[in-house]
Every structure is written in structure tokens, then in C-alpha cells.
């Protein structure tokens, strides 16, 4: 025997109005990873960083490096917080191992 309970509640003035729970979902913020120009880090080193850390081809890496060199800063990519943080740390670590003053930061989009 499979019986369903019959809903006999017609509601009255003591009932509470209950809104359906609607979870407030927000897309996680994104972050630009930005390279800063300086006078000392070799261009070739910056290009190799853009290839190895940001997966750019040599042509794209050269373009971004020249953008940073001429305009003062340039975007390496846009990522979630954790990925952006990791990329910044990788760049700063490789630069300091080679004693280059290269700076890399992240900014919310």
C-alpha cells in the first residue's frame, strides 16, 4: 500500500508568509596580474617570464613586455584570487633568484 498524505491545510490568519530561500550567489571577483616597468630587468628576462609563468608565445610575450617598457605597466592575465596570487609569487621569486628588481602586482577588475 502506498498512500500519500492529503494536504488539508487551507491556511488562515495565523499562518506566516515564508519566502522561498533564494541563495544570494555572486561570481567570485577576478584579478589582473600586472607587470611594472623598471630600468634594470633585461627585456629577454621579462619575455621568458611571460612565456614560462603566463604561457604566452614568444610573439605575445614580446608584445606585452614592450607595452610594459613603453607605458610603465601591462597586464599579464586575469585570474581568480588564488591563481593571481600564485602567479605574482612565482614572478617575484624567479626575479629575486636572478637579483632583478622586477615588480608584479595584482588588482581587482
Task: State yes or no: residue 43 binds ligand TYC (CB under 6 A).
Answer: yes
Tracing cell 637579483 back to the chain, one arrives at 99
Residues 65/37, Cβ–Cβ less than 8 Å: no
Compute the least distance from the CB of residue 93 to ligand TYC, in Å.
Answer: 15
3-state secondary structure at position 79: strand
Residues pairing with 103 in the sheet: 36
Task: Choose the binding region for ligand TYC from 10-18, 20-28, 38-46, 51-59 (rule: CB under 6 A).
Answer: 38-46
Cα–chain center distance at 20: 33
Tracing cell 614560462 back to the chain, one arrives at 52
Compute the least distance from the CB of residue 73 to ligand TYC, in Å.
Answer: 8
Task: State yes or no: residue 65 binds ligand TYC (CB under 6 A).
Answer: yes
DSSP states along 28-41: PP-EEEEEE--SSS
Q: Which of 31, 33, 34, 46 binds ligand TYC (CB under 6 A)?
A: 46
Task: Choose the binding region for ligand TYC from 4-12, 17-25, 42-50, 78-86 (rule: CB under 6 A).
Answer: 42-50
Q: Which of 32, 38, 75, 105 binds ligand TYC (CB under 6 A)?
A: 38
Residues 41/99, Cβ–Cβ less than 8 Å: no
Q: Which residues bind ligand TYC (CB under 6 A)?
A: 35-39, 41-43, 46, 65, 68-69, 102
Amino acid at each position: 500500500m502506498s498512500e500519500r498524505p492529503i494536504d488539508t491545510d487551507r491556511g488562515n490568519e495565523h499562518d506566516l508568509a515564508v519566502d522561498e530561500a533564494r541563495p544570494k550567489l555572486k561570481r567570485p571577483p577576478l584579478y589582473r596580474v600586472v607587470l611594472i616597468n623598471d630600468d634594470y630587468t633585461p627585456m629577454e628576462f621579462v619575455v621568458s617570464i611571460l612565456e614560462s609563468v603566463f604561457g604566452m608565445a614568444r610573439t605575445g610575450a614580446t608584445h606585452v613586455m614592450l607595452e610594459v617598457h613603453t607605458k610603465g605597466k601591462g597586464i599579464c592575465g586575469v585570474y581568480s584570487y588564488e591563481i593571481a596570487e600564485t602567479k605574482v609569487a612565482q614572478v617575484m621569486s624567479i626575479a629575486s633568484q636572478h637579483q632583478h628588481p622586477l615588480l608584479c602586482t595584482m588588482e581587482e577588475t
